[in-house]
Amino acid sequence: MDNNTSPISTVDRALGMRNKKKSFKHWFERMAINVTKVTGSSIAFLVALLIIIGWGVTGPIFHFSDTWQLVINTGTTIVTFLMVFIIQQSQNKDSLAIQLKLNELIAAEERASNRLIVVEDLTQDELEVLKKFYVRLSQLAREGNDLHSSHSVDEAEGVHKHKKHIRQAEHDKR
């Protein structure tokens, strides 16, 4: 395969070009990363707490007026509204990164089912069916007192049937 068309070189080129793009999308992503880091810190919590305490202390000064209450309500609503989008951006990026890391592990492990690489694209019903397979795999491992080995569902079913057949044959001999 030519180096210019390999999947790795495509990824390398895409990663190399990411710094060249100066669009709103790039700006928003960088801003979301920075805002998420800052707002997730203990200092940000203390600043927010001090703002609330300061607002509460000014209550008697403003006679707990409607305007005094409106200031905190409006401020918190605006911050909450904007933070929803920033947090969602960060969650989407983190989720995609985790999916790609898991996909790499699945692709690298020869015994893993490649069917799981796009599992996030399945419907809820399809995910429930897949979950039943893995619950069954867990049951088979528990029944075989073999919780430390890893198998595919298909392989585990076959191994389980084989073990069951051997146990039955041994039992019949007694």
Q: Indicate the domain borders of the chain.
A: 1-116, 122-174
- 173 token code pair: 């001999």
The pLDDT value given to residue 32: 92
- 145 token code pair: 């007192």
Residue 62: closest CA among 73, 74, 70: 70
Residue 168: how many CB atoms within 10 A of its CB?
Answer: 10
Residue 119: how many CB atoms within 10 A of its CB?
Answer: 15
Q: What percent of the chain has pLDDT over 90?
A: 47
The pLDDT value given to residue 89: 93
Q: Greatest CA span in the chain, whole angstroms? A: 92
Residue 160: how many CB atoms within 10 A of its CB?
Answer: 19
For 43-99, the pLDDT digits (tens) are 999 999 999 999 999 999 999 999 999 999 999 999 999 999 999 999 999 999 998
Q: Model-level pTM?
A: 0.59
Q: Which amino acid is at 56?
A: G
Q: Which residues contact 72 (CB under 8 A, 6 or more apart)?
A: 52, 55
Q: Of the spans 38-52, 103-117, 150-164, which averages the highest pLDDT?
A: 38-52
